[in-house]
Each structure stands twice: as C-alpha cells, then as structure tokens.
Amino acid sequence: MTKLWGGRFTKTAEEWVDAFGASIGFDQALVNEDIEGSLAHVTMLGKCGILSQEEVEQIKAGLSTLREKAEKGELEFSVQQEDIHLNLEKMLIDEIGPVGGKLHTGRSRNDQVATDMHLYLRNQLKEITTALKKLQKALYDQAAVHVETLIPGYTHLQRAQPVSFAHHLLAYFWMLERDLGRFEDSMKRVNLSPLGAGALAGTTFPIDRMYTAELLGFDGIYENSLDAVSDRDFIVEFLSNASMLMMHLSRLCEELILWSSQEFQFVEIDDAFATGSSIMPQKKNPDMAELIRGKTGRVYGNLFSLLTTLKGLPLAYNKDMQEDKEGMFDTVETVKGSLHIFAGMIETLTVHADTMEKAVHQDFSNATELADYLATKGMPFREAHEVVGKLVLVAIQKGVFLLDLPFSDYEEASSLFDKDIYEVLQPKTVVARRNSAGGTGFEQVKAALEKAKQCLAD
C-alpha cells in the first residue's frame, strides 16, 4: 500500500518492519481527539484564508463521516498507515478525494500527536477526578457513622494509642484531597495547545494558533514550537500524580487485607468484592484490595518507563516518543478501575465495631494517658514514662491490663495516683481527650467531618 510520505522512497518497507513501527494498535484510542483536532485545524485554515470555504466544508463533512463511522466501530485501521493520524488522513482522502490532502497544510504529525494527547488527558482527568471524589464521599460516609467507634492505632504495627475509626478513615480522605489538588493543578499544564508548532519550527502559513486553541477549549498555547512538540512533562506529571494516588490506595488496601483477616476481624469486605478458593471451601479472599495493591506496581513502572524514555532525547520529536502512549492509556484505565472498585468496596464495607472495641480494651494503648496523668500532676514526663513502664511490666507479669490492676499497685508506683485513673484509662476517655487540633478527640473528628463535607461540596 502506498505511504502518504512515500515520495522520496524507492523501496517499500517489509510488512513486519511496518508492523514493528506502527502505533495504530494502541493510538486508535485517540480517534476522537484526532478528529476534533483536525476539525479545529481546518476551521482555522479557512478563517485565515489558507483554504477556501468550499474546501473547508468538504473536509469537515469528510471528518464528520469518519467520526460517525468511528462511533459505530466501522473504521478499519491498517498497520501500513502506521498510526491514527495517517490512518484517518488516508481515510479522509479515500472518502472525499484529493482535497482531503489539504487538511495537513501547516501542520505536522508532531504537533498533531501532542495535541491529541493533551486533549485525551484533559478528558480523562475529568473522569478521574470525578471518580476520586466518589471515593472520598464513600470514605466520608463511613467516617460519619463511626466517630465513636474505636480502633487500635498502630505504630510499627504495634498497638500504640486508640483512635476513632472515623479519624483513621479521614486520614485517607485528606490524602485523596491532596491527590485531587495535584490532578487539578496539572490541568494548567495539560490544557495548553501545541497545535501550530508544526514539525518543530512553526510554519510559513499565516495560521492562527490562538484561534485553534480557543476552538479546542485550551487555556493558552505553548510559547515555543520546539518545546511544544518535544514536551511530555504533562504525561510524566500525570503518571507521577497517578503513582502517588495508587500508593495511597495501596496502603488502604493493605489495611483492609489485614483488618479482614481472622487475626484482626475488624472489617468484612462485601462478597461482591471478594473471591473464594477453588480448593478451600472456607476461604473468602480480599482479591480486589490485593489487586489494586498489585496494580500500583504497574503504574510506578509506567512512570519510570517514560522518564527513562525521555532522558536522553535531543530536541525535537524522536520516534522514541511513540512509547509515551501505552503507559499513559494503561495508567488511565488502571486508575479509573481502581477508584471505581474502591468506592464500591468502602461503601459496602461491614465494620465490626464490637471487635475493634474489644481490641482497644485488651492492650496497653492507654499507657501514654497514664504517663500524661502523672506529668500533669507535676512529675517530669521522662520519670512518668519510667513509672508507667514499670506498671505495664507488673500487669504483664500478672497477665492483666492496666485497668485490671488493683489500686494498691498504683499507690505503690506513685503517690500522685488517685482513683480517677480508672476513668482516665477508659479507651473512650483516652480518645476523647486527644483534643488538640487535628487529633483524634471526638470534637476534633466532628470538626474534621465538617471540613471534609465542605470539600465534597466544592
């Protein structure tokens, strides 16, 4: 098959070489963006008097036909035409005749492909941020009903201090809020038009870049034509933001997996998001949480792959850059899929408040409270730490917890203890009293819920 760029060639490449160089297998995902970009470009060519109105109308009609066919899945792409841009241009010429060949006036595939990617990412970012907000809402809803549910808080995965379960869930809400902020901020760099940069140096035609930018809903244009066609920062930035988001999801996955184990039994993942075993009839595996944790690795991989691809590239376009697409598409699908699954998993999560409550009564996570108690009464905190440490040891030796020790043990440890310690040591009191800004105290958690609600409304 003849190539649209075949003029200076005396020999055609063999099919297997074409197949290796082609990107149509994956960049057909850009079909709508490519047509949208072409429509804007040709409209501009007409407005600037570069093509006649009649030519413009013919080309627009041809592009519309292609769009309809694309919607119906009727376009047949070919590897010989290498990529989405050449495939569509060839189809246009087949559809409307040689006038179709005028579409590419004052344009290069280099500014064309960059434009497509900007449009694509802009569209996808909207979907991703919507899905992110849905997950935030799910976390918020669970948090709202679990302000008074207590769960052991851990450091080093050792029981540390009890916290409100809502406080724990809201920690993830705020992580996602930062992720959202990063995606939204990146729009400034995504929503810029490279169109009109030409192959690398601009064009001799009297084009109007601001006009195409406006038609395509971009906020502005790239200042420098070389930068416009070489820049893939916006994709690296997306992959980096996606990696951070996946890291957050993965950490919550890890907790859900632990919490739903026999050892913890703090939560139960809904049947809809779990699977059984082909051999062990009793099993209920938290597959979706594990899979999202696993998929985090491929998103990191996509980030590193693109950074590595770009690191040695001289200006301007290099074919290496064709490698920017699969990782981006894959990340978009992975992130969207993970967010949807996650929202469902959180919405339907069963929380075993009773098991959590039991857990916070069967540990030493109220020990800090006791040290604070002594410190409040004037004992230097370091000394108080030592006194309480010894009491913990006494309790361990007796096989009980702090609340079970008789008052005589306390009296012996320090004359500063009063009987009110039995109230102070109650996990609920322990949590309620951590009322410093951003702490787990119930008042703080309620205030945080209000702030979170505000974020959801914005």
Torsion of CA 350, 354, 355, 356, to 10 degrees: 90
Choose the stretch contacting ligand ARG; rule: CB under 6 A; options: 62-70, 175-183, 248-256, 318-326.
Answer: 318-326
Nearer to ligand ARG, 144 or 200 (CB): 200
Residues ≥6 apart with Cβ < 8 Å to 52: 46
Nearer to ligand ARG, 113 or 195 (CB): 113
Length of the chain: 458
Nearer to ligand ARG, 82 or 177 (CB): 82
Instruction: Check residue 195 for interaction with ligand ARG (CB under 6 A).
Output: no
- Decide: helix, strand or coil at residue 155: strand
- What are the tokens at 29? 């995902």
Instruction: Check residue 109 for interaction with ligand ARG (CB under 6 A).
Output: yes
Residue selected from 58, 164, 302, 322 as contacting ligand ARG according to rule CB under 6 A: 322
Q: Cα–Cα distance between 354 and 268 in angstroms, integer?
A: 13
Residue selected from 58, 80, 81, 110 as contacting ligand ARG according to rule CB under 6 A: 110
Q: Cα–Cα distance between 57 and 39 in angstroms, integer?
A: 10
Residues ≥6 apart with Cβ < 8 Å to 295: 246, 334, 337, 338
Per-position x/- string for 230-259, each x denoting binding to ligand ARG as judged by CB under 6 A, each - no binding: ------------------------------
Q: Cα–Cα distance between 455 and 359 in angstroms, integer?
A: 33
Task: Tell the smallest beta-carbon distance from residue 5 to ligand ARG (Å).
Answer: 9
Q: Cα–Cα distance between 152 and 361 in angstroms, integer?
A: 9
Torsion of CA 18, 20, 26, 30, to 10 degrees: -50
Choose the stretch contacting ligand ARG; rule: CB under 6 A; options: 36-44, 92-100, 107-115, 188-196.
Answer: 107-115
Task: Tell the smallest beta-carbon distance from residue 224 to ligand ARG (Å).
Answer: 18
Choose the stretch contacting ligand ARG; rule: CB under 6 A; options: 158-166, 313-321, 397-405, 439-447.
Answer: 313-321
Mark residue 156 as left, alpha or beta (left: phi above 0; alpha: psi -120 to 50; beta: remaining). left
Nearer to ligand ARG, 321 or 391 (CB): 321
- What are the tokens at 337? 């899929």
Instruction: Looking at residues 41 to 100 of the shown chain, list those that interact with ligand ARG (rule: CB under 6 A).
Output: 83
Residue selected from 42, 44, 66, 113 as contacting ligand ARG according to rule CB under 6 A: 113
**Identified catalytic residue from 156, 278, 408, 436:** 156
Task: Tell the smallest beta-carbon distance from residue 299 to ligand ARG (Å).
Answer: 21
The neighbour count for residue 312, using CB atoms within 10 Å, is 8
Amino acid at 131: A
Q: Is 277 a catalytic residue?
A: yes
Task: Tell the smallest beta-carbon distance from residue 125 to ligand ARG (Å).
Answer: 20
Task: Tell the smallest beta-carbon distance from residue 82 to ligand ARG (Å).
Answer: 6
Task: Tell the smallest beta-carbon distance from residue 26 to ligand ARG (Å).
Answer: 9
Task: Tell the smallest beta-carbon distance from residue 310 to ligand ARG (Å).
Answer: 13
Instruction: Check residue 40 for interaction with ligand ARG (CB under 6 A).
Output: no
**Identified catalytic residue from 52, 64, 261, 277:** 277
Nearer to ligand ARG, 186 or 230 (CB): 230
- What are the tokens at 39? 């429509």
Q: Cα–Cα distance between 191 and 213 in angstroms, integer?
A: 9
- What are the tokens at 426? 């109650």
Choose the stretch contacting ligand ARG; rule: CB under 6 A; options: 51-59, 96-104, 220-228, 314-322.
Answer: 314-322
Nearer to ligand ARG, 114 or 170 (CB): 114
Instruction: Check residue 115 for interaction with ligand ARG (CB under 6 A).
Output: no
- What are the tokens at 139? 């976390």
Q: Cα–Cα distance between 140 and 146 in angstroms, integer?
A: 10
Nearer to ligand ARG, 27 or 237 (CB): 27
- What are the tokens at 75? 């376009």
Instruction: Check residue 321 for interaction with ligand ARG (CB under 6 A).
Output: yes
Task: Tell the smallest beta-carbon distance from residue 25 to ligand ARG (Å).
Answer: 11
Total interface residues for ligand ARG by CB under 6 A: 10
Residues ≥6 apart with Cβ < 8 Å to 6: 12
Instruction: Check residue 27 for interaction with ligand ARG (CB under 6 A).
Output: yes
Q: Is 104 a catalytic residue?
A: no
- Decide: helix, strand or coil at residue 28: helix
CB 404 within 8 A of CB 410: no
**Helix (H), strand (E) at residue 18:** helix 15-21
Closest residue (Cβ) to ligand ARG? 83
Residues ≥6 apart with Cβ < 8 Å to 270: 344, 345, 348, 349, 350
Task: Tell the smallest beta-carbon distance from residue 140 to ligand ARG (Å).
Answer: 41
List of residues contacting ligand ARG (CB under 6 A) = 23, 27, 83, 109-110, 113, 317, 319, 321-322
Catalytically active residues, by annotation: 156, 277
